[in-house]
Structure 1
Amino acid sequence: MDWVSILIGAAIGGGLSWFITWAYYRKSLQQQEQLRQVDAAERAAQRAADAERRARDSERAVLYKNRESSYNEHQAKPDRRWDLTVNSNGTLTLVNRRKAISGFFEIMLHSPDAVGTREPVVRHSALGERGSLTFPLPGGINEVDGIFVQTYEGLGYPEQEIVPIHPKYTMADFRDPRISPQ
């Protein structure tokens, strides 16, 4: 009888040991699967963020090229009316390249995605030939692709011109670190 109780004890102990090992192994597999799913979700989120960043960088590069092209086209015009300079303190200097303005003119921010009427940043009257005007822009020049100048002389229609700003001044992700107009 002793050997039967030993055999029963060994069977119960072995079965209990097997069950505990099996439960631990099953729990370990569940934890590994959970970690695998978390890692897969993190990798998917990272891939999505990387794809979004690459798409944004690509769009920004195209926008930079478009703004730079617009600036270069404006600079290449021999008959352009205005020159625009970005100063180290973030102000802009607008230089009249043609005849004097006897009426008044308004300067507004220009952005191709702007909707509605723009409020003038500067209203000024009379500017001599080769005269200049230095003014700050509220909020700085970040993401501004140029200024819109309307000149009123007499009772005629206003003369309007968009004067682009080089994107190396206005697009922070392409800005030369030595240039810091804010």
Structure 2
Amino acid sequence: MDQGLTALENNYKRLDRSIKTINIHLDVAGTFADTRFNTIDTRFNTINTRFNTIDTRFKAIDTRFNAIDTRFNTIDTRFKAIDTRFNAIDTRFNTIDTRFDAIDTRFNAIEMQLNKTTKVFQKRLDNVDARLNQLCDNVDTILMMLKQAEVRKQVYLPVKCESLKLLSQN
């Protein structure tokens, strides 16, 4: 009887260590996920800063267009110089458009990586959840067996040793 209880206690201790190990793995996975999300957050902040810079450049370009328009109306002889400036501004627009495309491509890549990472973590969390449920079921079974063993111990203690031998043979 004592050997059975000792075996149950050892199994319980082993399960307890397994649960602690799983908890450590969950903490590591959580830290990894936090790090990934912080990295993505940083990238989003960088993109947002770039958008603000581009917006400032658009405002500067808009101001330049207004100056060019004023010059067209007031100084007709500088038309060629203004036309040259307009071409330079057009080049800047193309550069900005290219940058927008690059930022959009980066944003899509980050979003795809986030989706991929989320799926991987969801799969891992589902596996850990299944393992944890199984361990909880095992712990519940062990606890029930321990309770049954204690009840049997309390019921059979007052009985003579011969009765115990008969029970242990069964």
TM class, shorter-length: 0.3 to 0.5
Question: Larger Rg: 1 or 2?
Answer: 2
Q: Which has the higher contact order (CA 8 A, sep 6+)?
A: 2
Compute the TM-score of the two structures, normalised by the length of structure 2.
0.47
Between Structure 1 and Structure 2, the one with more strand by share is 1
